[in-house]
Structure 1
Amino acid sequence: MDTKSRNKLLKLVAVVCLFTIGISGVFTTVKSGGKYFKNYYHTDEFRQEYYQFVDLLSLFELKRLTKEEVKKAITVSAEEVEEHRIRYGDLASQIANIEEQYRFKIEDAEGANEELADIYRAERDAKIADITENFKNDDHVRKKIVKEKEEQVDEYFHNIKDYRSLYNQYKGSFSYYLKNTETGKVVTNLAGIEDKPVEALITKQNSNFIQYYPSKDTGYLTGEEHHVYGYYNDVILEVYGGQTFEGVIAVPKSKAANSVVKGWSSDYEKRQAGMIIFAIASLAALILSFFLRRWASMPVQLERKLTHYYGRIPIDVRAVLAGLTAIFVVISFFLISDTILYFEIGETFVVIVLATFLMLALLFQGKWLLRDWEKGAEPDWKRVAQLQQEWKNSLISRLFELLRAFFLNRSIGVQMLILLSGVFLLGACTVVVMIQPAFVLVLFILVIVGILSLVVLLKFTGYFNKIVENTDELAAGRMGADLPIKGKSVLGRLAGNINVLKHGVKNSQNEQAKSERMKTELITNVSHDLRTPLTSIITYSELLKTPDLSEADRAAYIEVIDRKSKRLKVLIDDLFEASKMASGSVELIKERVDLVQLLQQALAEHNEDIDQTTLKFRVTNPETPVYSIVDGQKLWRVFDNLINNILKYSLENTRVFIALQKVDDKAMITFKNITKYELAESVDELFERFKRGDESRHTEGSGLGLAIAKSIVDLHEGKLDIEVDGDLFKVTITLDTV
């Protein structure tokens, strides 16, 4: 970093330091200022010390009986005797419980140590005798209760003796005059009380603090408030219970300068002055940082580097970092507030430096998050799209996607979750057994479950490895045997799907080979069917150029050229129409058409050809019209093509059956004839373009008739099916009716 950049960075740190001091001062003023803008004796801090003195006063002055006097005052009621007697149940249940406690001890000692067994029996019998006496003699129980209460008294006096020295320190800072409202006994440390009344000795003019009992805010002093110390037990409360005191407690101004309360007040006043100075200094620092904000800026290279690395952090992590930084900034403000008020200069300096860098980090993150906000304009985040992209790259989004992928197949996700939970429980139970061996049975059960889970996992892993191996072979082009399908598990379904894909690949390869073969045949057939008439046209055109050609030959040649030209035109027109049909670019003009009438018209067009053949047509039509929404011209072409095929490829002197019938809401038109050529190919191949039943291609068919017919029927959302049974050729057309 060069000198200029270093200077810019130092300026920035200085301004941020001023800003941090200013904000921390505002924070400290809001947090602690309220208690430093009042008199010490009106603060909660003093009130807490006062309550502590009242507790100590109650322990050592208001309750002044000795240990022996308290023990003599102990009483035992009939209810206490009865409660002690049945504390652990009736006589029978208590005896049974004692016998059960010693039964195992005595059984273990018998034979091994008879003397020890006798000791156990003696202890048992003594306890049973004692319990029995409890239910016979009230005095026996009363003595036990008195003994328990005396032990509580001993504990009480033992606990409070450590606070005597502390009470003596507090006692010199307070003046008090308290009178027992029941006995009239006075407890006081006021000098001259015999000559002057309390009101003359304790006044607002000679006291820093006065608390009257009773007063508007407090009732009588009972000596049982224990604001700080809670050593009163049931026995002490029973002995001293019901006592109330009236009077006054004060902090006189005339107490020695080295008194405890005077030290508290002086310390408070120092902190109060420090608070005021810090508040003024922080306000000045805040104002100064505001005016110097344009004077300081981050070096461009450093900002680019930080922005580059910070921008690569996911958006949710950036938000968490910003939140944590803000939390640490607030914590540093708390630390500044605590150290500055108690004049811990070294600690305050360290905390301010730390807070400055935290604030610098927070300001940088805030600036980066708002980097695309322009003054007076909408934020240029690429709007929702960019935010969505940033959210997709967040850790939360990635974790969500990971969980969604984990439970994409719910069954296997749940199985894995159960398996992982079992492993976790097994490990946790092992730790528990090491701590508490009584749970070893649970561990044994979990080990059995863990072994079974391991076996299941091994089976799943083995099956999965087989599937992976099979898919590797499939990717390498080796089909191999089908995978075994085991059960209805996810892996079983996966194996089944892979088998289906494998068969699909095989069928695709077969179809591809078939497609290549059909393409070759198509090119060959198209070349043959187009070249034959074209060759004749060229040949006879050359012959027409002969000089001494007779008129008869010339006319014959022209007639051949004309016929072959028309044949070539028919082939080209059929090919063009077949291409349009296959591409679906043909527009249908649909209307309500009577299929019976349309079929009769198509047959009528071929009456002359039918009469010239030896074929016998048997046509069956319903007596009523059968209507369908179709393009009549296109459907007529279908009928025409099928009738042409029948006339060209039917065996002579055979019957042709054409039938139209209505089945439910469908119209079914059937064409059946006996072929003169053997049909050895697949039926589906007959729909291919330029495919003809006459493989020698001596007939004048184009081989496009069935392809065009099927395309037209498909455009009408109908069906055209072919069936071949030996030499029987059957075409069935199915259309919707209205």
Structure 2
Amino acid sequence: MKNQKRQKIIVALAVWVLIVAIVALERPDYFYDNIASKYTYEHVMEDYLIDVGPLVLNPPTKEAMVRSIDVSTSEIDQYRYRYGSKEEQIADITLQYEEAINEANQNGNEARKVQLTEERDKKLQDIKKNFEDDEHVKKKITKEKVKVVESYLAQIEEQRTELINNFPYISYSLKDVDTGEVKQLGDVEAKAIKKYNFNQETQMLVANTYARNAEWVFQDGDYTYWPMLTESKKREASNQTHYYKGVLLIDENKFKASNDYNTYRQVLMKHYVFLAFVASGVISLLILLLMKARLREVYERVTFFHQTKLDVHLALILASGFGFMISISRVSNLLLLKQGSALIPWLLIVIATTTLLVASVNSLIYRAELKGNFFELMKESYLRQMLVACYDIVLNRSLFLQTTLLLSCSFIGGMAATTILNGGGGMFIFFLCFIVGFSGFFLFLARMGYLSRIVKDTEDLAAGKLNRPIAIKGRSVFAKHAQNLNELREGVRDSMNEQAKSERLKTELITNVSHDLRTPLTSIITYTELLKNDNLTPEERRSYVEVLDKKSERLKILIEDLFEVSKMASGNMELHKQRVDLMELVTQVVGEHEEELAESNLELRMTMPQAPIYAYVDGQKMWRLIDNLLINVRKYALAHTRVYVTLEENEQGQAELAIKNIAKYEIGGNVDELFERFKRADKSRHTEGSGLGLAIAQSIVDMHGGKMNIAVDGDLFKVTVNIEKVR
């Protein structure tokens, strides 16, 4: 509990230090004492010094500007053709007055008729003179340009009044360096907050004749030809630069009486609040240092957002981060503005957004720790679900296209029906609506009916009813799905058959193992009991011991073979592979069985290649393989028949060993079951052996990556072993 309280204090202090640091970096100018003057009178003094020239010290005169007015030939043509050609203007004026004159004539108002006729004739005469006399047009244009000049001077007067009213606390005494004229305003001997000295040694006050926007004022309107203010032919109207020396100051008493002084005090108060704010951050940092807080203690395992999707969580982090930056910026700006009352609410918003940001980031880190990494966490997002859904949609292109077609038909039909209901379209739209809508509806019913049948048959399949296949209709995606379900049904049925076969083989295995183990064990028990008889002769006792030895040896071989085939099947037996000459190996193994085969009245025929065939195998295991196959031949081959042993290279470039013989027993059923353990061709199990020979041989071949096949044609029994050869 104590550690949790300490952690919460550390988190709160760290958040506050972060907020203070960011605000301090945003407004480092609030550290300085001159911040109040900088954002009040000093802030606007630069603009004042630029505007005081054209507005107060050196304003242009109307007379000089009017005398500099010129009219170009292009302006004369522009004026003449402003309303069209001469004929068009005469026709327009005649038409304008014609109706009014006719009306006055019909009403018998002779005075009105005379007045309108005189006005018309005067305008027609003026139009004709415009096209005949350039001076006449030039005078008209000059009058219009004079109005522009008067408008500009009126703007200057308004701006001059505004400048004086906005800066009532400025006083100056300035002397024109060229003319010696002195410009004075206010008392330059008054107590000043700020004083600006202008002289030739350091800097002089530069005052232009025209304001910064004068060029745009003159060029705005119907006429574009005005004398350039810097290149006027008449020097008196050009933009002349005057240099002044003297003093300009801000009167302290007048400044305190102005509205700007209130702003000055507010900025000064914000300066002190800012210093206190930074001091609180420094104190919080010192407390963290005294508490010996570590960065990992700021991290808290927040579980509040664990139920939200990842993209929602990230959006929350971005939103809180964005809100944090906006609120920080707002707090920084409020330090400049006059709305000091809004500073506290925005500061609270900064604290709230910072807390939310830290909590959401901590929660995200904790969630990533629980999942192991961030990529596992990405699986819990709406975006991934949407991408998976989009991917799933196009997994089957046919279904995607059919669904798109169906939705398009429904959309077109719906749009057509809406058009008809709104009174638009006609028979063609109605016909289109009917054909498209009905086709889509019919396709929907057909597909849904077939899908319903597939769902019903799938339920039967899940219930174990495998006797009836699902009907395949057409070549649609549903038909393909039905075909896949039928293949699945066949697979399930084959699996069930294999399971039944496995259960049968398991039962036979247990039965055969029990029989083959019980037979020698029974003999051992019987002869052991007989040996307990004290009346046995030495010859009888010796014969019983021989029987015990023989049965014990058979039981030992049976158990060893069983363990060996189990180890091979489980892959726990190691192979010691080396390059072996298979022709030499087969010849040696066959040579050891040659005498036994002859005793069994079997005639051996061997076919060996002319050149040696090498393979990378375990020599001992391959010896055991060939040995088991020949033992199997000796036990189950029909007497007085031939046994064929062939070694060659097949068409695939593999070493192929084939052993053929005629079986003394009829081999029925599935020949692949002969590879099963304790499986014999002699179902009566009268012959000796463990029934593991072929199973061991098959395991050896599998361990070498080869292939072993059994083929039966009547009584002809053939075993083929294929092994990859090497050079």
Distance 1:257 1:331, change over 3 A: closer
- Contact in 1 for aligned 2:198/2:247 (Cα 8 Å): no
Unaligned runs of 5+ in 1: 89-93, 95-133, 176-189, 298-302, 373-380, 435-439
Q: 1:363 to 1:589 in 2, by over 3 A?
A: closer
Q: Which deviations, in whole Å up to 9, do the C-alpha atoms of 1:666-704 show, x marking residues without a partner?
A: 221111112122222212211000000011111113211
> Displacement of 1:349 after TM fit?
3.4
Counterpart residue number, 1:678: 666
Per-residue deviation, 1:493: 8.1
Q: Structure 1 residue 658: deviation in Å?
A: 1.5
Shift of the 617–405 alpha-carbon distance from structure 1 to 2, 3 Å rule, reads: same
- The alpha carbon displacement at 1:730 in A equals 0.7
| Aligned position for 2:582 | 595
Partner-residue secondary structure (3-state), 2:469: coil
d(CA) in 2 for partners of 1:726, 1:504:
31
Task: Indicate yes or no: 2:327 matched with 1:329.
Answer: yes
Partners of 1:31 and 1:457 in 2: CA distance: 75
Task: Report what 1:45 is aligned to.
Answer: 44
Cα deviation 1:55-87 (Å, max 9, x = unaligned): 778999644699xx89x9784525984999899
Distance 1:613 1:691 in 2: 22
Q: Give yes or no for the alignment of 1:582 onto 2:598.
A: no
Q: Secondary structure in 2 aligned to 1:616?
A: strand
Q: Displacement, 1:639?
A: 1.8
Superposed displacement of residue 606, structure 1: 2.6
Letter in 1 for 2:571: G
Quote the residue 1:721 is aligned against.
709
Match of 2:698 in 1: 710
* Aligned-partner SS, 2:131: helix
Match 2:347 to one of 341, 355, 358: 355
Q: Which residue of 1 aligns with 2:595?
A: 608
Post-superposition offset of 1:501: 4.8
Comparing 654-663 with 539-548, greater Cα deviation is found at 539-548
Q: Which amino acid aligns with 2:645?
A: I
Q: Does 1:398 align with 2:356?
A: no
Q: In structure 1, which of residues 296, 303, 309 is the aligned counterpart of residue 304 of structure 2? A: 309
Write out per-residue CA displacement over residues 63-119 of structure 1, whole angstroms, 9 at most, x where no aligned residue.
Answer: 4699xx89x97845259849998999xxxxx9xxxxxxxxxxxxxxxxxxxxxxxxx
Does 1:694 pair with 2:682?
yes
Paired amino acid for 2:592: E
**Distance in 1 separating the partners of 2:543 and 2:474:** 78
**Matches for 1:137-148 after TM superposition, within 5 Å:** 139=131
* Residues 1:239 and 1:358: Cα distance change in structure 2 (over 3 Å): closer
Q: C-alpha distance in 1, partners of 2:183/2:28?
A: 41
Q: What secondary structure, in the 3-state scheme, does the structure 2 residue paired with 1:238 have?
A: coil
Structure 1 residue matching 2:631: 3-state secondary structure: helix
> Which digits, 9 at most, give the CA deviation of each residue in 1:604-632, with x for residues without a partner?
32333322334332222234433333333
Q: Is 1:278 the counterpart of 2:277 in the alignment?
A: no
1:46, distance to aligned residue in structure 2 (A):
4.2
Q: Distance in 1 between matches of 2:675 and 2:251?
A: 123
- Residue 533 of structure 1: which of 520, 533, 549 is its match? 520
Change in 2 beyond 3 A, CA 1:516/1:406: same
Deviation at 1:330?
A: 1.6
Identify if the C-alpha distance between structure 1 residues 18 and 510 changes in structure 2 by more than 3 Å, giving closer, same or farther. closer
Q: CA deviation at 1:275?
A: 2.4
Provide the secondary structure at the position in 1 that maps to 2:552: helix
Mapping 1:565-576, distance limit 5 Å: 565-576=552-563
| 2:463 maps to 1:481 | no
Whether the 8 Å contact between 1:52 and 1:228 is mirrored in structure 2 is no
Distance in 1, matches of 2:139 and 2:479, equals: 79
Match for 2:633 among 646, 650, 653?
A: 646
CA distance in 1, matches of 2:350, 2:499: 69
Q: String of CA shifts for 1:440-475, please: whole Å, max 9, x gaps.
A: 9xxx9xx99x98998999699858877776665555
CA shift, 1:520, in A, is 0.3
- Cross-structure match for 1:183: none
Gaps of 5+ in 2: 89-126, 168-172, 292-297, 420-424
**Would the aligned equivalents of 2:604 and 2:644 in 1 still touch at CA under 8 Å?**
yes
Distance 1:83 1:253, change over 3 A: closer
The whole-number CA distance in structure 1 between the counterparts of 2:475 and 2:52 is: 82
Cα shift at 1:635: 1.9
Give runs of aligned pairs for residues 21-36 of structure 1, distance below 5 A: 30=29, 36=35
Task: Supply the distance in 2 between the matched residues of 1:64 and 1:453 (Cα, whole angstroms).
Answer: 87
Listed as ranges, the matches of 1:491-530 within 5 Å are 501-530=488-517
SS at match of 2:689: coil
Report the Cα offset of residue 393 of structure 1: 6.9
Amino acid at match of 1:282: F
TM-score by length of 1: 0.64
Give the stretch that moved more between structures: 153-162 or 219-228.
153-162
SS in 1 for 2:258: helix
Paired residues of 1:18 and 1:285 also in contact (CA < 8 A): no
CA contact (8 A) 2:582 2:615 kept: yes
Residue 551 to residue 390, structure 1, CA distance change in 2 (3 Å): closer
Q: Are the counterparts in 2 of residues 329 and 359 from structure 1 also a CA contact under 8 Å?
A: no
Q: Kindly tell me: are residues 624 and 197 of structure 1, through their superposed partners in 2, closer, same or farther at Cα, counting changes over 3 Å?
A: closer
| Closer, same or farther: CA 681–250 of 1 in aligned 2, 3 Å | farther
CA distance in structure 2 between the aligned counterparts of 1:240 and 1:493, rounded to whole angstroms: 87
Shift, 1:722, TM fit: 1.0
- Look up the match of 1:129: none
Say if 2:316 and 2:360, in contact at 8 Å, map to a contact too: no
Task: Report the AA paired with residue 304 of structure 2.
Answer: Y
Residue in 1 aligned with 2:73? 77
* Paired letter, 1:333: V
Partner of 1:187: none
Asked if 1:267 is matched to 2:263, the reply is no
Going from structure 1 to structure 2, the CA distance change for 1:656 and 1:201 (only over 3 Å counts) comes to closer
Give deviations 1:533-560, integer Å, cap 9, x for gaps: 2223333444445566566655554444
SS of the aligned residue for 1:225 comes to: coil
Q: Residues 349, 251 of structure 1: CA spacing in aligned structure 2 closer, same or farther, 3 A cutoff?
A: farther
Residue 122 (structure 1) aligns with: none
1:679 is paired with a residue of what secondary structure? coil
Question: d(CA) in 1 for partners of 2:559 and 2:17?
Answer: 93
Structure 2 vs 1, CA of residues 50 and 371 (structure 1 numbering), >3 Å: closer, same or farther? same
Tell me, in whole angstroms, the C-alpha distance in 2 between the residues paired with 1:37 and 1:294: 32
Alpha-carbon distance in structure 2 between the residues aligned to 1:492 and 1:145: 91
Residue in structure 2 matching 1:198, options 181, 206, 212 = 181
Deviation at 1:234, TM superposition (A): 4.9
Q: Structure 1: which amino acid aligns with 2:268?
A: I
Inter-partner Cα distance in structure 2 for 1:396 and 1:558: 75
Partner of residue 98, structure 2: none
Deviations 1:158-213 (A, max 9, x none): 977985883573486699xxxxxxxxxxxxxx9xx9xx95137689958988999x
Q: What's the CA shift for 1:514?
A: 1.2
Partner of 1:105: none
Q: Which amino acid aligns with 1:707?
A: A
Give CA-to-partner distance per residue, 1:111-136, whole Å, 9 cap, x none.
xxxxxxxxxxxxxxxxxxxxxxx9xx
1:206 touches 1:253 (CA, 8 Å); kept in 2?
Answer: no
Q: CA deviation at 1:565?
A: 3.0
- Distance, in Å, in 2 between the alignment partners of 1:627 and 1:681 is 36
Q: Deviations over 1:131-171 (max 9, x none)?
A: xxx9xx99399999999979986995897798588357348
Question: Using a 3 Å threshold, how does the CA distance of structure 1 residues 45 and 579 change in structure 2: closer, same or farther?
Answer: same
Q: SS in structure 2 opposite 1:700?
A: coil
The farther-off stretch of 16-25 and 352-361 is 16-25
CA contact (8 A) 2:69 2:145 kept: no
Counterpart of 2:712, as a letter, is V
Identify if the C-alpha distance between structure 1 residues 250 and 319 changes in structure 2 by more than 3 Å, giving closer, same or farther.
Answer: farther
